[in-house]
Amino acid sequence: MSTLKSTIVWLAGLSLLVQVAIAALPFDWFGNDGQMPSLAPMLEQSKPAVVNIATKSHVRVQDNPLLNDPFFRHFFNIPKQQPRHRTKQSLGSGVIFDAKQGLVLTNNHVIQRADEITVSLTDGRSFEAELVGSDPATDVALIKIPAEQLTALPLANSDQLRVGDFVVAIGNPFGLGQTVTSGIVSALGRSGLGIEGYENFIQTDASINPGNSGGALVNLRGELVGINTAIFSPGQSSGNIGIGFAIPSNMVKQITDQLIEFGEVKRAYLGVQMQDITEELAKAFNIESGKGAVVTRIVKDSAAEESGLQVGDVILSIAGTKLINADSLRNTIGLLMVGQTIDVEILRDGKDKTLTATVKESKKATQKATAHPKLSGASFGDIEESSPYYGNIDGVMTFSVKRGSPAWQAGLRANDIITSVNKQTVANLAEFKPLVHNNDKELLFNITRKQRSMFLLLR
């Protein structure tokens, strides 16, 4: 009997705690009848801040190569063909970031090839948007609409997220219109997936599908904790299987601040080349494997050299962030602000030591290539040290491509890595320039884009 009484008392206490917790929440979680719990009160305030994005792009249609052969056209009396284009449309989502300025967050891949961007609000209004700036390396873009009376989502501190927290995804899956799904945070700090250049994803089982890209992941307070970006779909599946990824709001804020100020992200770099700690190296350094990365090279006149870092040092943490491997170092540095002073915790000769470094802007040796008419509007240079390709691949980096320019129309995009020109490999800008200079003939580029290789023919 005493056990039964204890249980009743315990349940009563638990019920009281739940009631107190619910009363403390900023929304009325119960319907008008006072009995049915619901997310509706929170969503009524959050949904107007999530928009639908429709884009149009004009893609050049590749003709049969024979139709471009002068001899073939002359022999069969075929007139010279004019370039043909087709219109491509796509759908995505966005989140109103600043109601007064009309700023809308979305994914770079939602708008990156768009010639026209249309934003539709939940109240039925539609506006043509202009691009403020984008960062392909993190897949974040910022656009602007000339609208008034907008609703923006407040930003949460994504560093406070925990696995198991409830979250809600709001977006436009498959173009159906605004849709809400719920789930939990399944994992944090997901990286090394090869989806983007810099990865620190929130993983969630809230259903995310094509069209949800750029939409909101919110907590139960209606605060933005992430921008929905990608899903994991094995095989031929293109739908949700319970593994979705979102860019954390703190990372989005870092990127957005720079896009507003500069129109692009000015990436910091430390000036080191790193190597993962293998089991053999861990024994040699007398540390645990899977923790930190060892310095293999120091760049002259870099922040690393000025801080006193040496080859053979094992970097354990950067700015308070524990490192797992060399990729996590690059990811951490690439998201810092240029000029930021950080602590670098290292292991040297078996002893812990903390150094101070002030990260610098990544140096770009650029070349505006206007020799070939199809390269007009693009700038090229050696691969940046902040790039995930640095030290892993030889080639030339496409730094920028002006939207609508001949280079853009030819299919070149920022952050493309050109590894060969007309089947001749190029390791750097010095080898690239002679192959495109004073050349108005066809150019065949072998390009690496988002971990995938492709050929691009410019004529």
Catalytic residue among 46, 90, 93, 109: 109
Active site residue 139: yes
pLDDT attached to residue 68: 59
With H, G, I as helix, E, B as strand and everything else as coil, classify residue 163. Answer: coil
- Domain spans of the chain, in order of start: 49-74+82-144, 158-262, 268-361, 366-458
| Encoded tokens for 41 | 């009160």
Q: Rounded to an integer, what distance in angstroms lies between the CA atom of residue 141 and that of residue 139?
A: 7
> Smallest Cα–Cα separation from 42: which of 170, 211, 165?
170
Q: Rounded to an integer, what distance in angstroms lies between the CA atom of residue 179 and that of residue 91?
A: 14
Enumerate residues 6+ apart whose C-beta is below 8 A from 71: none
pTM over 0.75: no
Q: Rounded to an integer, what distance in angstroms lies between the CA atom of residue 5 and that of residue 7?
A: 5
> Smallest Cα–Cα separation from 332: which of 188, 189, 453?
189
pLDDT attached to residue 64: 54
For the domain made up of 158-262, give the CATH fold: Thrombin, subunit H (2.40.10)
Active site residue 213: yes
List phi, psi (to 5°) of 110.
-75, -35
DSSP 8-state symbol, 235: T
With H, G, I as helix, E, B as strand and everything else as coil, classify residue 8. Answer: helix
Q: Rounded to an integer, what distance in angstroms lies between the CA atom of residue 451 and that of residue 387?
A: 12
> Smallest Cα–Cα separation from 381: which of 392, 370, 369, 393?
369
List phi, psi (to 5°) of 344.
-120, 110
pLDDT attached to residue 53: 92
> Smallest Cα–Cα separation from 62: which of 85, 45, 34?
85
136 within 8 A of 415, measured Cβ to Cβ: yes
pLDDT attached to residue 105: 94
Query: What ranges in 269-379 are assigned the alpha helix state H?
Result: 279-285, 303-307, 326-334
Region of 34 (left: φ > 0; alpha: ψ -120 to 50; beta: rest) is: left
Catalytic residue among 213, 317, 379, 387: 213
Q: Do domains 49-74+82-144 and 366-458 have the same CATH topology?
A: no
pLDDT per residue of the chain (459 residues) written in tens, 0 to 9: 455 555 555 555 545 554 545 555 555 555 555 667 788 889 999 999 999 999 887 655 555 555 555 655 655 566 665 555 566 677 889 999 999 999 999 999 898 878 889 999 999 999 999 999 888 888 899 999 998 999 999 999 998 999 999 999 999 888 888 899 999 999 988 876 767 777 789 999 998 888 888 999 999 999 999 999 988 766 555 666 778 999 999 989 989 988 998 888 887 878 888 787 877 777 777 776 667 788 888 888 888 889 999 888 888 888 888 877 777 777 788 777 788 888 999 888 878 899 999 888 766 544 444 457 778 888 888 887 666 677 678 888 888 787 778 888 888 887 889 998 888 888 888 888 888 876 667 788 889 887 678 888 887
Superfamily of domain 49-74+82-144: Trypsin-like serine proteases (2.40.10.10)
Catalytic residue among 139, 313, 382, 416: 139
pLDDT attached to residue 365: 46
Active site residue 109: yes
For the domain made up of 268-361, give the CATH fold: Pdz3 Domain (2.30.42)
Q: What sign does the CA torsion over 61, 62, 68, 74 have?
A: negative
Scored b (16 or more CB within 10 A) or e, 106-140 reads bbbbbbbbbeebbbbbeeeeebebebbbbbbbbbb
| Encoded tokens for 211 | 């069209």
With H, G, I as helix, E, B as strand and everything else as coil, classify residue 416. Answer: coil
- Give strand pairing partners of 354: 345
For the domain made up of 366-458, give the CATH fold: Pdz3 Domain (2.30.42)
pLDDT attached to residue 366: 46
| Encoded tokens for 87 | 């219109």
> Smallest Cα–Cα separation from 457: which of 440, 448, 439, 444?
444
pLDDT attached to residue 1: 47
